[in-house]
Amino acid sequence: MPFTAPPTAAKTTPNRTVLPAGTRLWRVHRGTRGPGDFKPVPADPHFGGGRFDSIPGDDEYPYLYAAPDPRTALLETLVRSIPFDDRGVRYLRRAALAGMVISAVESTSDLALISLLTSADLAAACQDEWLIHAEPHEYPQTRRWARWLRGHAPWGQGLLWPSRRDIGRPSAMLFGDRVDPGELAPVPGSAVALDDAAGARWLNEQLAPYRIRVKPPRSPRRG
């Protein structure tokens, strides 16, 4: 388990994989952002944030998390450490859905990504499964590794790794300074507001195989 700082003298190049043009990517985001808007603010170096967020320093970058399957995007963003109840069901909290949207973009050109999909890919990055399985309290360290990987792959437009929460499907993170604005096109009609009654129905359809449910919003009282 390489819970260590990145090596300083390793002569290695991470493995490359290509996300073909025409790939649809789904992301969960606040409704105040557009489908293709990258997050411009680096994460705190020590607290909160995601696995591969940008951190303050000389190599800051906008970033965007997404997945080819909408269910992966939902699980990665909304379903973190939610326990099963006595009936074997997991419930999403309505508060977590407030103002949230899922939408899709489509790549208009091939995107070259740093591959972390296999053990060989991780070894090429001087890492093992720790990098993609680390718990949130170790994200400050995984974020530092993301910066190191960028430096060793100047061609890399992002990262691709196996989802921890949707086993068997990939997750992606794109570097906003290496993806041209025209390379991600919003998919018309793909956006679903997750905090209304229609969104609750859609979520329950998508997440039923995972035994995850969300209750619909309460109807307003009639005065």
Within-domain flag for 32? yes
What are the tokens at 28? 């969960």
First to last CA, the chain: 60
Number of CB atoms found within 10 A of residue 60's CB: 14
Within-domain flag for 24? yes
Within-domain flag for 51? yes
Q: Tell me if 181 sits within 8 A of 75, measured CB to CB.
A: no
Within-domain flag for 106? yes
Within-domain flag for 171? yes
* Interatomic CA distance for residues 184 and 70, integer angstroms: 16
β-bridge pairing 158-162 and 170-175:
antiparallel
Q: Tell me if 67 sits within 8 A of 26, measured CB to CB.
A: yes
Within-domain flag for 163? yes
Within-domain flag for 2? no
pTM of the predicted model, to two decimals? 0.93
Number of domains observed in the structure of the chain: 1
> Per-residue confidence of the chain (223 residues) as pLDDT tens digits?
567 889 988 888 999 999 999 999 999 999 999 999 999 989 988 888 999 999 998 889 999 999 999 999 999 999 988 999 999 999 999 999 999 999 999 999 999 999 999 999 999 999 999 999 999 999 999 999 999 999 999 999 999 999 999 999 999 999 999 999 899 999 999 999 999 999 999 999 999 999 999 999 886 665 5
* Interatomic CA distance for residues 204 and 216, integer angstroms: 10
Whole domain around residue 23: which residue ranges? 16-214
Within-domain flag for 8? no
Beta pairing partners, 104: 26
